[in-house]
Structure formats: structure tokens, C-alpha cells
């Protein structure tokens, strides 16, 4: 029964992906991509990866989908940069891609058996972190350096987006609110955020021991903030505003501070003293959640559109 479900899932996922690629109307293509993201979340649940499922639905599907929809609306009818390919080269490209898929498929089927795994090692080390969710332990303890650098990646992307503003608008506020706010949006913007914030805080809080964590919680909070800005209840902040900059830098700064304290109080950079590991990690996660929420929301909002005051 589960097998049938899996097969149907795979079939619809592939059909949607093909649809996204060949659909001539870009808007319909992107809406199909949103559906694709939701189905992908289901696949992750079937792969016993609830943390990834939440992340995929929130960021991979939802966040990216909103980003793409806004982009499509902004560039519709304006100078498209089309570079059509000839039929032959398209065919050649298709054959090449198919060959890569087949080769990859063989590689996937030829993996060593029994499968190598770090699950036992990861679980064995879990008590030293005080956490219950091994995925969170990987992200914030074993491979914390990746997570730290990835936070910087997000910040750099944001600065890169901001740098696209014209000189005169540098430091000003982005424009998020559509020219006419539809009534349902205004209604949602008033009703949803309190619930969203509660869900976000809950997701962050359980993340230490159950599926959930900073990214998922941060995305939910970012979505609520965007909703408030889109509904026109609060204007977006100026990109040079001090509170915004502090919120963005705060998470990584705390992360780095605790990482450096590891030199003095634990086994070195990014090591936690055993007794304090869990509270320290939760503190880092809290600060990161705020930073992630601010960064993701501002990434969707885009570069400044109004001159700074």
C-alpha cells in the first residue's frame, strides 16, 4: 500500500516538474512549482526526515515560490532576455540531461551495502550536547561551522540584493505592499500573525528535541512579518535602520561569541562546555531565529525603493 503511494508520489512529482519546465505561461509554471514544493515536503516525510520536510515546505517551496511569483509579476511584459535555442541543440541538451539522470540512477543503485551511516556516532555523541534531536545536534554542534558560515551566506545574499538599489536610494526602505491591497490579504494580515508568531516560537522551542528549529521557525516568523508589511499594517524598515541591522547581525554575533568562548572554557572553537551545552545552543538558536526571520523577509522584500529619510 505504501509502495503504491510512493509510486504515485514520484509520478506526480516528476509530472509537475516537467510541467514547470515546459509550461509556456511563466505564472502557471511557478504556481506548479509551489505545488511541487508541497509534494516534495510529503516525500521528505516519507524519507523519515520531518525536519527537512518542514524546511522544504517553508523555504524551498513556499519562500522560493513567493520570491518567484513576485519576480514574475515585476518583469511581466517588460524586456525579456530570451535566447531561444535551435531544435537540434535542444534535443542534444535533452539527451545529455537524460544521460546524466541515467548515470546518476546507476550510481544511486550501486551504493555500497550495507549503507555507511553516521547515525550511531551521531546518537552516541548526543548526550554531550544535551539535545534530543540529532539533526539539531548536527547543525549546531557537530557541524556548527557549516551553519555559522551559512548564516554569513544568507547575510551576504541580502547585502548583495541591497547593493542593487540605485545610489540615491541606498539605505532606504524596500516596497512590499502591492499598489492595491486585496481585502482577503488585508484580513489575513490582521488575523494570522498572532497565530503565526505562536507557531514560530513553538517550532523553535521544540526544535532542540523534536522536529523543528531555527530555520523553520525563522521562516514562519518571516512570513508573518511579510504579511503584515504586505497588508500595509506596518511599513517595511529602512535597510540602514539600526534595529534591523542589529537583528540581522545579532544571531551570528552571539554564535561567534560563544564559539570563541570555547577556546577558554571548552575544547576549542565552537566547542561547548558539557554542562552548559544545551542552554548555550538554545540561546544561539533563539538569536539565530530572529536573524533568519529578518534576513529571509528582507530577501523577499528586495532592494530599497524609497530614498532614506
Stretch 228-257 residues interacting with other proteins (CB under 8 A): 240, 242, 245-246, 248-249, 252-253, 256
| CA distance linking residue 93 with residue 154, whole number of Å | 32
Contact 208, 132 (CB under 8 A): yes
| CA distance linking residue 280 with residue 266, whole number of Å | 12
* Among 12-20, 190-198, 201-209, 224-232, the segment contacting other proteins (CB under 8 A): 12-20
Residues 36-75 that bind other proteins (CB under 8 A): 36, 40, 43-44, 46-49, 51-52, 55-56, 59-60, 63-64, 67-68, 70-72, 74-75
Q: What is the DSSP letter of 180?
A: S
* Among 86-94, 175-183, 195-203, 229-237, the segment contacting other proteins (CB under 8 A): 86-94
Q: Smaller CB distance to other proteins: residue 77 or 184?
A: 77
Residue 241: closest CA among 293, 308, 301, 153: 308
Q: Smaller CB distance to other proteins: residue 147 or 286?
A: 147
CB atoms within 10 A of CB 210: 14
Q: Smaller CB distance to other proteins: residue 203 or 299?
A: 299
Binding-residue pattern over the window 144 to 173 for other proteins, x denoting contact by CB under 8 A: xxxxxxx-xxxxxxxxxxxxxxxxx-xx--
Contact flag: residue 116 with other proteins (CB under 8 A): yes
Give the nearest distance from C-beta 99 to other proteins in angstroms. Answer: 8
Q: Applying CB under 8 A, what is the total number of residues that bind other proteins? A: 138
Q: What is the DSSP letter of 174?
A: B
Which residues contact residue 247 at a Cβ distance below 8 angstroms, ignoring those fewer than 6 apart? 290, 291, 294
Find where cell 542534444 sits.
Answer: 92
Amino acid at each position: 500500500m505504501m509502495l503504491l503511494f510512493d509510486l504515485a508520489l514520484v509520478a506526480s512529482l516528476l509530472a509537475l516538474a516537467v510541467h514547470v519546465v515546459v509550461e509556456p505561461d511563466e505564472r502557471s509554471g511557478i504556481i506548479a512549482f509551489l505545488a511541487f514544493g508541497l509534494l516534495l515536503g510529503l516525500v521528505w516525510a516519507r524519507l523519515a526526515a520531518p525536519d527537512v520536510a518542514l524546511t522544504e515546505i517553508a523555504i524551498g517551496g513556499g519562500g522560493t515560490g513567493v520570491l518567484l511569483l513576485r519576480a514574475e509579476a515585476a518583469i511581466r511584459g517588460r524586456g525579456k532576455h530570451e535566447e531561444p535555442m535551435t531544435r537540434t541543440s535542444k534535443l542534444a541538451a535533452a539527451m545529455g540531461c537524460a544521460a546524466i539522470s541515467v548515470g546518476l540512477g546507476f550510481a544511486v543503485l550501486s551504493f555500497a551495502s550495507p549503507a555507511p551511516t553516521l547515525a550511531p556516532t551521531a546518537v552516541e555523541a548526543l548526550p554531550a550536547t544535551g539535545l534530543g534531536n540529532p539533526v539539531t545536534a548536527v547543525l549546531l554542534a557537530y557541524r556548527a561551522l557549516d551553519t555559522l558560515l551559512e548564516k554569513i551566506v544568507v547575510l551576504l545574499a541580502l547585502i548583495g540584493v541591497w547593493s542593487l538599489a540605485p545610489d540615491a536610494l541606498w539605505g532606504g526602505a524596500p516596497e512590499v505592499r502591492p499598489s492595491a491591497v486585496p481585502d482577503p490579504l488585508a484580513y489575513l494580515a490582521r488575523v494570522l500573525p498572532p497565530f503565526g508568531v505562536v507557531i514560530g516560537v513553538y517550532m523553535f522551542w521544540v526544535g532542540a528535541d523534536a522536529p523543528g528549529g531555527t530555520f523553520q521557525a525563522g521562516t514562519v516568523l518571516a512570513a508573518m512579518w511579510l504579511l503584515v508589511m504586505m497588508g500595509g499594517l506596518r511599513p517595511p524598515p529602512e535597510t540602514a535602520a539600526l534595529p534591523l541591522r542589529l537583528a540581522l547581525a545579532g544571531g551570528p554575533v552571539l554564535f561567534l561569541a560563544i564559539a570563541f568562548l570555547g577556546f577558554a572554557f571548552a575544547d576549542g572553537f565552537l566547542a561547548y562546555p558539557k554542562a552548559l551545552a544545551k542552554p548555550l545552543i538554545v540561546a544561539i538558536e533563539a538569536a539565530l531565529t530572529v536573524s533568519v526571520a529578518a534576513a529571509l523577509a528582507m530577501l523577499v522584500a528586495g532592494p530599497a525603493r524609497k530614498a532614506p529619510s
